[in-house]
């Protein structure tokens, strides 16, 4: 009886800490989704105006003379944030992560449909070649 009580006293704080950590992870999760409808570029009146970020190669990718393409899809949300990022094709040596981070920080003006700001789907490819 006493052992069970002590076990419960030890487990409760651990469970509470785990629940708290899970809640924090959810709040800080970078994988955001965009609420509302998302339109394809051909469905909008004015496409989103984007400033394509410059992505430099990681030291390891440069050392290994990496060549290839990172392909992604994302949503240029009407809120001004890039959300729903999905990697279609990645590269090793930290290059996929570098492209995803650059995409998250990308600046753009949201698309418009019939005079209202809307969310637009984006397909992007980043090519890396050592010349």
Query: What total number of domains does the chain contain?
Result: 2
pTM for this prediction: 0.73
Per-residue pLDDT of the chain (131 residues; tens, 9 = 90+): 554 444 344 434 434 444 433 333 333 345 689 998 999 999 999 999 999 899 999 999 999 999 999 999 999 999 999 999 999 999 999 999 999 999 999 999 999 999 999 999 999 999 998 76
Q: Which residues, 6+ apart, have CB-to-CB distance to 81 below 8 Å?
A: 32, 34
CATH value at residue 111: 3.30.2420.10
Residues 79 and 90 in one domain: yes
> Could you write out the DSSP letters of every residue in 13-66?
HHHHHHHHHHHHHHHH-S-----S-EE-GGGSSBPPEEEPPP-PPPHHHHHTT-
Residues 24 and 38 in one domain: no
According to the model, what pLDDT value does residue 14 have?
A: 39
């Amino acid at each position: 009886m006493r052992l069970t009580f002590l076990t419960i006293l030890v487990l409760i704080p651990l469970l509470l800490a785990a629940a708290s950590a899970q809640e924090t992870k959810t709040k800080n999760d970078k994988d955001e989704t965009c609420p509302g409808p998302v339109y394809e570029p051909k469905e909008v009146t004015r496409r989103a105006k984007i400033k394509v970020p410059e992505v430099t190669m990681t030291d390891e990718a440069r050392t290994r003379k990496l060549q290839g393409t990172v392909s992604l899809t994302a949503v240029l949300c009407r809120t001004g944030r890039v959300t729903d990022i999905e990697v279609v094709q990645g590269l090793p040596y930290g290059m996929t992560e570098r492209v995803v981070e650059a995409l998250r920080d990308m600046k753009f003006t949201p698309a418009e449909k019939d005079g209202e700001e809307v969310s637009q789907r984006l397909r992007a490819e980043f090519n890396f070649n050592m010349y």
